[in-house]
Amino acid sequence: MVSYDGSRKGVTINIEKGPITTSNIFIPDVTTQDSGIYVCAPQGMKEAAVRVTVLN
C-alpha cells in the first residue's frame, strides 16, 4: 500500500483491496518541485521505487 508523508496539499491515495491490492497516488497540478523518487514499501515485502521527473 502507498502512504504519503510529504507536506504537499491535495495529494490523495486510492487503495483497492482484492485478490491483488493496488495503490495509486494522485498529485493534482504537479510542478517541477514534485519531481523525485517515490517509494512503495509494502509491509513484509520488497520495496520498489520510481523516479518521477516533471517537465515545464
Partners of residue 47 on adjacent β-strands? none
Q: Is residue 33 within 8 Å of 15, Cβ to Cβ? A: no
* Residue length of the chain: 56
Question: For residue range 1-56, what is the model confidence (pLDDT) as tens digits?
Answer: 667 777 888 999 898 999 988 889 999 999 999 999 988 888 888 999 999 999 98
pTM: 0.73
Q: Is residue 38 within 8 Å of 24, Cβ to Cβ? A: no
Grid cell digits, residue 8:
504537499
Q: Is residue 28 within 8 Å of 10, Cβ to Cβ? A: yes
d(CA 5, CA 37): 13
